[in-house]
Amino acid sequence: AQSVTQLGSHVSVSEGALVLLRCNYSSSVPPYLFWYVQYPNQGLQLLLKYTSAATLVKGINGFEAEFKKSETSFHLTKPSAHMSDAAEYFCAVRTDTGRRALTFGSGTRLQVQP
């Protein structure tokens, strides 16, 4: 079975500061990893996904994430936060075997202060 842990249910940064949202996974087989963003009163939108092609994955809105097998991590970063980045972010994992659905972390709410 696989699982995801997101450290920090709330993260607050200043506009223009670095955004770092942490995600650690547990999986006995090679994982596929995803970051989704949920804006208020909207559905989830895919930011980026790791499919084993490259360890550094670039997504939409200037976000990127790096897969580190040795650390079992897939942290999401953005060099400079924008007010519009305020949302909830979910890390999710999936594998080749077993359940086809995504297994999600509990989410991190990002606040961006002016």
Partner 1 sequence: GAGVSQSPSNKVTEKGKDVELRCDPISGHTALYWYRQRLGQGLEFLIYFQGNSAPDKSGLPSDRFSAERTGESVSTLTIQRTQQEDSAVYLCASSLTSGGPTDTQYFGPGTRLTVL
Point out which residues bind partner 1 (CB under 8 A).
4, 6, 9, 32, 36, 41-46, 49, 51, 90, 92, 94-96, 99-107
Q: How far apart are alpha carbons 11 and 36 in whole angstroms?
A: 16
Least distance (Å) between residue 4 CB and partner 1: 8
Q: In the bound complex, what is the minimum distance in angstroms from residue 14's beta carbon to partner 1?
A: 25
Q: Are the C-beta atoms of residues 64 and 79 closer than 8 Å to each other?
A: no
Instruction: Report the C-alpha gap between 81 and 86 in whole angstroms.
Output: 9
Min separation Cβ 16 and partner 1, Å: 28
